[in-house]
Structure 1
Amino acid sequence: MRAFRLQSLQGLRQVQSRLPHQASWLRPGCRVYQAPTSRWSSSTSSEGSKKPYYVTTPIFYVNAAPHIGHLYTMVLSDVLKRWQTINGREAYLCTGTDEHGMKIQQAALKEGLPPKEFCDDNSNKFKSLAEHSNISHDFFIRTTDQDHKDVVQEFWQLLKARAPEGLGLYKGTHEGWYCVSDECFYPEDLVQPSVVPQTGRKIMISSESGNEVEWVTEDTWFFPLSKYKEKLLKFYQENPDWIQPASRMNEVRHWVENHLEDLSVTRPATRLNWGIQDPEDPGNTIYVWVDALVNYLTKAGFGSKWHVDDADTGIWPADVHVIGKDIIRFHAIYWPALLMAAGLPLPKKILCHNHWTMSNRKMSKSLGNVVNPFSALQRWNVDPLRYFLMRNGSFKGDMSYANESIMAIYEKELQANIGNLFNRISRTKLGKWSTFEAVEAARKGDFDNIGGFIPQRVDDPSQPDFLSLEAALNGAPSEIQQDMDETNLSNALRGIFELLREANRFITDTEPWNLVKKTEPDARIRLNWVIYRCAEALRIAGIFLQPVMPSRAAELLDGLGVKQERRTVDFACKGADLDYGLKPVPRENLQPNAFDSLFPPVAGTELPDTEPVAAKDDSKKTSSKGKTKKPKNRLGRVVQSLAEEAQAAAKTGVDTISTIRALLVPYEAHHVRQYHAWMQDPDIQEATASEPMTLEEEYENQQSWRTSSDKLTFIVCAPVTQVTSPIKSGTADADDLMRGDINFFLYPFEDDDETVDTEGLVTGEVDVMIASPSHRGQGLGRAAVCALLVYLQKRIDEILAEYGARELKGLMVKIKEGNKGSRALFEKLGFVQKGEVNYFGEVLMTLGWEEVLRKNWWKGAQEDFREVEYDLGG
């Protein structure tokens, strides 16, 4: 299903960004703004050698404890660094904590602690998280460190003294709307009036974040951001791939074109004293975001090892800044402009990820569903959790953290796929087979004459296909490597899964346990061929898995006898290493469960993320006749399920809504292909703020949307003239009768003033799309919305109960500014626009839930509404 929209900018403080300069290490074809005062454009000190790879996480704000989103960012950055390392490139990773600003000052005061003591405690939690999750960071920076303070003040002096005339800092008086929560000013067109529902107090809020703003007048230093508009736009045009994904670049470009204002970069020390002071004007504290962004320069050695005019800048510029979507403006607009002014190279890429939800529900302290990363690491163990985060991570839509999903992936992809194949191949037994013998056979040339030992299936169709694994072994490595190079980590892990699944099928089909019993001359060669081919699949997979699961991948490669120096990407292809394998070991010398430890059974999904990992389970048993017994454990059931590869389609009776103008049916698997075809249209992507997905991703999202408690999704179809119950799937909702979709999302209601208990209060978002222009303007969209709202009114109690909420406060829609048709539709239904166009080019329209029943159209909508049973078939 369509990727979630961007949520508004929040106060979470991660920090990063950058780009390249015209130096010898610059990515080919990447052009940058040339600062007049910089001599780096002619730098040749790194000529002939590649600059070390430098990746940064945001620095995390210490006003709260770490959550699963912080862990995801750390792991993602660590995977990027480790990938470069196994490609033979020197690489460095920087992470750390952001410790200055008004929120820290206020939080410390509330706790009754000095700010530094407050920061020490919370910073240690983030450092501990990095250590517990096996993050290979080279630097852990704190903005309270003295070396960082020195670098910030030196950078500040550059902005004052070295910037081109008219493009540096200037003193002035600033009046504007300031948000304490977001720690930034907002322009006039991005604030709007609002009312605190519980108290009736009138306030002004940011239309981006929804947080309260206040009018502030103060003397300040300004950075002339508006004068960098054309330079920034030119840079974006010349480097269109600078931000990944591309949709984020469009948002940044829109902001620069429409909302750029000069930036107030100091705060009065009388109001904010917890920060770094202007060395020449100590009555002013440097803006916390300038302070925070400069951290990337600090650990690259600026100010101590090199300066603006130095030829050799070491690891700078950063090769990639990994950031969350809520801080992209600071990194993709403020940061490059500041670097341009200082004459410094820009970072080479910004990688912007989405946010994690809990079982597709927004994580919220009031709902008690914020995942404790330390508990999750204890429960699932480090590498399996790292695998899940990378496997289900996304740059296209918000991501769902669910114990059920982790367990399913753990059992299917780790235990039953990787672990099962490893167990079958690596369990070396005297008189059976061994990886050493199999690899030695390949090295000696036993497999050179394939036709001599592999029977022809044309002559004997009952023979297994001894060549069925060749296509995967030949093609998968290059595809996986390309996905890793392009940061398509989820696709890369799917590729590894498919390779090993083919290997498991291959070993099941060729039955080496029977080959070992045969006495004909070629039987041993065929046995070694099977073991060698499967060992190659495991070895290649193990090399590629090292950045994601460093410990388990090392254990896997150790179990195959792969030498340390042969674990780089250069060896990740068939036949690249003929010097590995372990010799047979007598059974009495094997330790109990010697090969069961790679992915042992874990506790069920019913346990919360505060429970420890469970003990191991028994392994699957096979009868002497070769028939699989009924499995007695979860792993056995999964293995059997994968082997059978057959699932009976569920026959369920669910609701369909029929009206005069539209038919609404549940979103089911047979709708996905048509839906996927719709979403390839760039106009629909733009209108729905969506990124195109693969067909596999659409199928996965369909399952998520059908089972999630915070989403309600229907496919909008052409109306039926004669309604019969039940409506059979694939008839009235065939591809040629599908017209679009309508969705309803639930979000926790938030009170920024924290004046009332918001637990159990929710807001609902309505989203409708009619795919083809030829079907628009016929009343389909209005009919679908009206039918959905009547359905909600009839089912609101059970919907809220399933979600765990007690009251629906109101409805909202987010519509692209240029989508006049949708705006008119919702205006006629009584929705009212709140504020101006936001940062993402959307207008927000709202309607109170209790107001819906008082609208003139409501009675007619109720009369037109009819629920019909929907039969999925058998």
Structure 2
Amino acid sequence: MAGADTFYVTTPIYYVNDSPHVGHAYTTVACDALARFWRLDGRETYFLTGTDEHGQKVEKAAQLAGTDPQSFTDNVSGRFRDLAALLHVANDDFIRTTEERHKAGVQALWQRLVDKGEIYLGSYAGWYAVRDEAFYAESELIDGKAPSGAPVEWVAEPSYFFRLSAWGDRLLAFYADNPGFILPPSRRNEVVRFVEGGLQDLSVSRTSFSWGVPVPGDPDHVVYVWLDALANYITALGYPDEAGDRYRTFWPADLHVVGKDILRFHAVFWPAFLMAASLPTPKRVFAHGWWTIEGQKMSKSLGNVIDPRSLIEEYGIDAVRYFLLREVPFGNDGDFSKRAMVGRLNSDLANDYGNLCQRVLSMIGRNCGGEVPMPGAFTDEDRALLDRAHGLLGIVRAEIENQALNRALEAIFEVVGLANRYVDAQAPWTLRKTDSARMATVLYVLAETIRHLAVLTQPVMPDASAKILDLLAQPDDARGFASLGASGQALGPGTALPPPAPIFPRYVETDGAA
């Protein structure tokens, strides 16, 4: 069973009725940063993403595209796989719900629920939103539409049901016993209120279309897309082989990261399915917010859906990753604007972090023979900066444990600011003429601070951080978090450094830019 020395994180598997956009990139980059952090911190980590490919919505999208569902999903799933590579995401697995390993796991989970008396055959009549792949009670409709704004249609057909109504009190007890299961707290409160309002048995099969996993023993039915999709988190680990190494090592998951629009499925249906099947529940579901674009809701009709590829081409991969994770508290809604993006790139990255690295390494190159300088005795000012750098990992780790990615970056960039002020106060360019030994000490303190910063920014900006560590001549085995702190692998005086090079070029706006 998963423990303190392992970490299993998942994105939602993305629905393939359309192409990936900046919202998908946000979730994937956040999970990648979390996975990279814990890998560097010594935990055996597994990071899963993938695509959700069944359901009526996909079947209809394929028809509109003039192709069959499998060809359609092959094409769109490939775009999501390409997106992960484009974002420099280091996922361990990419699951598709059309894979045989997944179908076998879904059918095994279904049969287990049947054997435990949790699924029964009946008939369904009610409102269904194809866009959401969700059922809604009459009381939930707003002006004749789903709460999401999706149109609904009346569905009447034979259906298997999951006895969700029997799990309300047990779910509320579970939430009470595990207050960190749903974050942020505002989302937890929403889920608790929903469950307190009473749960109805859930229709978990459909007969009006065929694009799905066949129900075991009754192939006229296909498994409801959400029971199918949620199971990916265990089928990717080899379920139903609970004795397999991957399942035993990583389940239960440490963290499911989802958009707030699909929290109910993950925080109500999924734990109920698992508890009903006598399987362990995940440790946490974190619901993040939505992105607007220049203050407007992202929509194809407005023509403001942003392709992540265009962002990366214009600003660079590390700047995009940094902006997405720094701009808003993780869990809140955020707004993407060109002005904000350029501000983060030029102010935080080029002016502050990049300029710090450039001027310190350039001074070492010019004045220390291109080698890590030999420090003398440290002053109180030196120790104050080094102590902040040495203590940074503990601060960042505490924020990452709560998925507070923006706060982790704020803590790191506080030290960037301290280091820049230290440079100005110590003026090593003046010391070069008056006290070269003191200059060497100042430059050593700065280089060691930069080393800490570069190691800690690896999860968010892997490429730029690698370049900085290359400029500090750090070997691959000195780039984990074990190298940090007062007892870590400090820079060795006399180590030859390559010629300095700029890390974050400034973004120069063209005429008419925002």
TM superposition score normalised by structure 1: 0.56
1:201 match: none
* C-alpha separation in 1, matches of 2:57 and 2:511: 37
Question: Equivalent of 2:318, from 380, 383, 390?
Answer: 383
CA shift, 1:600, in A, is 1.7
How far apart are residue 191 of structure 1 and its match? 2.3
1:284 and 2:221 correspond: yes
Deviation digits for residues 596-624 of structure 1 (CA, Å, limit 9, x no counterpart)? 2x112334276889xxxxxxxxxxxxxxx
Q: Residue 187 and residue 505 in structure 1: after superposition, are their counterparts in 2 closer, same or farther (change >3 A)?
A: same
Query: Is this contact kept in 2: 1:561–1:581, CA < 8 A?
Result: no
- Alignment-mate amino acid for residue 238 of structure 1: D
Cα offset for 1:447? 1.4
Q: How does 1:104-115 map to 2 (within 5 A)?
A: 104-115=58-69
User: 1:414: how far off?
Assistant: 0.8
- Which residue, 480, 502, 506 being the options, matches 2:418? 502
**Does residue 72 of the first structure (1) align with residue 26 of the second (2)?**
yes
1:424-823 matches, cutoff 5 A: 424-427=359-362, 432-433=367-368, 436-438=371-373, 440-441=374-375, 446-447=376-377, 450=379, 469=385, 472-473=388-389, 475-518=391-434, 523-574=435-486, 576-580=488-492, 583=495, 594-596=500-502, 598-604=503-509
> CA contact under 8 A between 1:151 and 1:294: conserved in structure 2?
yes
Three-state SS of the structure 1 residue aligned to 2:250 is coil
Report what 2:133 is aligned to. Answer: 183
Question: 1:434, 1:582 within 8 Å by CA — same for their partners in 2?
Answer: no
CA contact (8 A) 2:54 2:211 kept: yes
Q: Do 2:165 and 2:198's aligned partners in 1 also have CA atoms closer than 8 Å?
A: no
Q: Quote the sequence identity (%).
A: 39
- What corresponds to 1:144 in structure 2? 98
Q: Counterparts of 2:242 and 2:440 in 1: how far apart (Å)?
A: 56
Cα offsets for 1:335-383 (capped at 9, x unmatched) = 0000011111100111110011112221121221111111111111111
**2:299 and 2:305 in contact (8 A); partners too:** yes
Per the alignment, in what secondary structure is the counterpart of residue 211 of structure 1?
A: coil
SS at match of 2:489: coil
Aligned equivalents of 2:77 and 2:371: distance in 1? Answer: 48
How far the C-alpha of 1:486 sits from its partner, in A, is: 2.6
1:369 aligns with 2:308: no
Amino acid in structure 2 at the alignment position of 1:335: W
CA contact (8 A) 2:237 2:246 kept: no
Matches of 2:246 and 2:409, distance apart in 1: 40
Q: Return closer, same or farther for 1:183/1:396 CA change in 2, 3 Å cut-off.
A: closer
Question: 2 CA distance for matches of 1:236 and 1:482?
Answer: 23
The CA deviation string for residues 577-609 of structure 1, in whole angstroms up to 9 with x for no partner, is 234467567xxx95xxx512x112334276889
- The 3 A distance-change label for structure 1 pair 472 and 278 is same
SS where residue 47 of structure 2 aligns? strand
| Aligned residue in 1 for 2:155 | 216
User: Matches of residues 222-371 of structure 1 in structure 2 within 5 Å?
Assistant: 222-268=161-207, 271-304=208-241, 306=243, 313-371=248-306
Per-residue deviation, residues 761-790 of structure 1 (Å, max 9, x unmatched): xxxxxxxxxxxxxxxxxxxxxxxxxxxxxx
Letter in 2 for 1:569: F
2:233 alignment partner AA:
Y
CA distance, structure 2, for counterparts of residue 311 and residue 356 of structure 1: 34
Which residue of the partner structure matches residue 96 of structure 1? 50
Q: Which one scores higher on RCO, CA 8 angstroms, separation ≥ 6?
A: 2
By how many angstroms is 1:508 displaced?
Answer: 1.6
1:205 counterpart residue number: 145
SS of 1:95's equivalent in the other structure is strand
Deviation at 1:479, TM superposition (A): 2.2
Q: Which amino acid letter does the alignment assign opposite residue 205 of structure 1?
A: K
Structure 1 residues 147 and 466: CA distance shift in structure 2, 3 A: closer
Distance of 2:366 and 2:171 partners within structure 1:
69
The aligned amino acid for 2:257 is V
User: Is the CA contact (8 Å cut-off) linking 2:364 and 2:372 kept in structure 1?
Assistant: no
Contact 1:435 1:560 in 2 (8 A): no
Checking the alignment, whether the CA contact within 8 Å between 1:360 and 1:399 is kept in structure 2 is: no
Label 1:360 to 1:394 Cα distance change in 2 as closer, same or farther (>3 A).
farther
Conservation of the 8 A alpha-carbon contact between 2:298 and 2:304: yes
SS of the aligned residue for 1:230 comes to helix
TM-score, L = length of structure 2: 0.94
Length, aligned pairs only: 514
Q: Counterparts of 2:458 and 2:382 in 1: how far apart (Å)? A: 29
> Which secondary structure does the structure 2 equivalent of 1:58 belong to?
coil
Distance 1:491 1:305, change over 3 A: same
Alpha carbons of structure 1 residues 139 and 473: separation in structure 2 relative to 1, 3 Å = closer
Determine if contact 1:353/1:394 at 8 Å carries over to the other structure: no
Q: Partners of 2:350 and 2:10 in 1: how far apart? A: 32
The match for 2:119 among 153, 161, 169 is 169
Question: What amino acid is aligned across from residue 33 of structure 2 in structure 1?
Answer: V
RMSD between aligned residues: 2.4
Q: Which amino acid aligns with 1:492?
A: A
Does the 8 A contact of 1:266 with 1:286 survive in 2? Answer: yes
Task: Please list every run of 5 or more consecutive structure 1 residues that lacks an aligned counterpart in the other structure.
Answer: 1-22, 28-49, 195-203, 455-464, 610-874
Work out whether residues 212 and 225 of structure 2, in 8 Å CA contact, stay in contact via their aligned partners in 1.
Answer: yes
Partner AA of 2:436 in structure 1? R
1:212 Cα deviation (Å)? 2.3
C-alpha change, 1:181 and 1:517, in structure 2 (3 Å) is same
Return the alpha-carbon distance in structure 1 between the equivalents of residues 370 and 422 of structure 2. Answer: 16
Please state whether the residue corresponding to 1:322 is helix, strand or coil: strand
* Structure 2 CA distance for partners of 1:431 and 1:26, relative to 1, 3 Å: closer
Query: Quick one: structure 1 residues 249 and 595, their matched pair in 2 at CA, closer, same or farther if it must change by over 3 Å?
Result: same
**For residue 406 of structure 1, what is the amino acid of its counterpart?**
M
Higher-Rg structure is 1
Equivalents in 1 of 2:253, 2:86: separation in Å? 25
* Shift, 1:435, TM fit: 7.4
Q: Does the CA-based 8 Å contact 2:330-2:404 persist in structure 1? A: no
SS of match in other structure, 2:13? strand
Describe the SS at the equivalent of 1:222. Answer: strand
Greater share of helix: 2
The C-alpha deviation readout for 1:413-463, integer Å capped at 9, x for no partner, is: 11111111111121266661267442x43xxxx316x4xxx9xxxxxxxxx
- The one-letter amino acid paired with 1:186 is Y
> 1:264, 1:89 → 2: CA distance?
39
Alpha carbons of structure 1 residues 169 and 326: separation in structure 2 relative to 1, 3 Å: same
What residue ranges of structure 2 are gaps of 5+ in the alignment? none
Distance 2:133 2:513 in 1: 35
The equivalent of 2:353 in structure 1 is: 418
For residues 568 and 426 of structure 1, the distance between their equivalents in structure 2, rounded to whole angstroms, comes to 22
The superposition leaves residues 830-856 of structure 1 with CA deviations (integer Å, 9 ceiling, x where unpaired) of xxxxxxxxxxxxxxxxxxxxxxxxxxx
